Amino acid sequence: MKHISRYYRCYIVLALLLLPLTSTYAQNINPNVKRIVFLGNSITWQANYVNDVIAYLEVNYPDRHFDFINLGLPSETVSGLSEPDHAGGAFPRPDLHERLQRVLALAKPDLVFACYGINDGIYMPFDTGRFRRFREGINWLHDEVTKSGAQIIHITPPVFDELRSGELARGADYPAVMDKYASWLLRQRSTEKWEVIDTHFPMKKYLEAHRKVDAQFKLDGFALSADGVHPNELGHWIIAREILRYICGVKVAVFASAEISLSNNKNGAAILKSVTERQNMLRDAWLTATKYKRPGLPVGLPLDEALRKSEVMGSRIDSLILNGH
């Protein structure tokens, strides 16, 4: 409670549960939201932006006890499309249609953040048929989550960096394709009154500004990969920062990294590390429990065992937060 004066605006917003000051499209978030699920592809599965968001909220609002579940699945689309040679021909891209009902039934979310699009254009030139399949998939996802009783907030796809992509884009102007996909999602704010967080254009603006100074500047490079798709830690932080700015209206734009955003707690770095360890363990357990079909991912702990372990890890995080102020 001693931080109310310092963070009064955002504390009140979170007391109403994720009612952002900066958006008129978040007025219908249910104040009883407890469990929050993140859906997406490999960028969500990487989990950096998810864990950055979780750590920030846990440090700054320790009296809120959200239950976060990351169910991102690498390679996934909402369009149901796949390249003939995806993964070297080993398997087609997973389709969210195949697993969504199992996810909703097991996780029982109150709120879903969904980030799709980067895979849905299949890294090829813009095509009206592929674009239609993406729109149909997003509309289906929105309807299914809403029918389950949960709220959904869409996140625009991150940027695609063609300079860094090598052969991945096959000569397509894929950044422009993603501009179209992101712009369509953003239009749903006004046409359908959807809640949409824009991470695409803030990332694009940041990348373009820094490229003027350093032609080799990058926002991709996860695990030393340079594929134009998967953000590095800075890229993930920009995504997290836009989500945090949306959901609670704080001026997180001043923070240059996740670590700096936690610097009001002397244990901030340790908290982020511990949150990451806990959430990634839970991610693998939840994914395994939902019986995804994609090969090549680590098998998680049995869910009941993971939840017990999470309680112990959560107590350690709570202690770090309490002792860091």
Q: What is the pLDDT of residue 2?
A: 40
Q: What is the mean pLDDT of residues 70-89?
A: 95
pLDDT band at 136 (very low <50, low <70, confident <90, very high): very high
* Arithmetic mean of pLDDT over the chain: 87
- Return the domain boundaries, the chain: 8-257
* Higher pLDDT among residues 121 and 26, named by residue: 121
Q: State pLDDT tens for residues 140-173.
A: 999 999 999 999 999 999 999 876 655 444 546 8
Phi-psi region of 221 (alpha: psi -120 to 50; beta: other; left: phi over 0): left
Per-residue pLDDT tens over the stretch 227-239: 778 999 999 999 9
Q: What are the pLDDT digits (tens) for 286-307?
A: 999 999 999 999 999 999 999 9
How confident is residue 62, by pLDDT bands cut at 50, 70 and 90? Answer: confident
Percentage of residues in the chain having pLDDT higher than 70: 85
Q: What's the pLDDT score for residue 20?
A: 38
Phi-psi region of 186 (alpha: psi -120 to 50; beta: other; left: phi over 0): alpha
Widest CA span in the chain: 57
Whole-number Å distance between alpha carbons of 60 and 250: 11
Would you identify the CATH topology of the domain 8-257?
Rossmann fold (3.40.50)
- Which of 23-37, 140-154, 200-214 shows the lowest mean pLDDT across its residues? 23-37
Asked if the model's pLDDT at residue 40 lies above 80, the reply is yes
Task: Lay out the sheet containing 67-70: strands in order across.
Answer: 67-70, 35-40, 111-115, 151-155, 195-197
User: Mean pLDDT, to the nearest integer, of 305-315?
Assistant: 97
Residue 21, CA distances (Å) to 29, 40, 56, 245 in order: 13, 25, 17, 9
Give residue 224's pLDDT band: very low, low, confident or very high (50, 70, 90).
very low
Query: What φ, ψ does residue 80 adopt, rounded to 5°?
Result: 80, 10
101 — pLDDT class (breaks 50, 70, 90)? very high
Q: Does residue 10 carry a pLDDT above 70? A: no
- Cα 114 to Cα 255: distance, rounded to the nearest angstrom: 24
Between the two ends of the chain, the Cα-to-Cα distance in Å is: 12
> Structure tokens of 124?
């090829």
pTM of the model as a whole: 0.88
The pLDDT confidence band at residue 220, using thresholds 50, 70 and 90, is confident
Distance (Å, whole) CA 316 – CA 324: 12
Q: What is the pLDDT of residue 28?
A: 37
Residue 226: per-residue pLDDT: 65
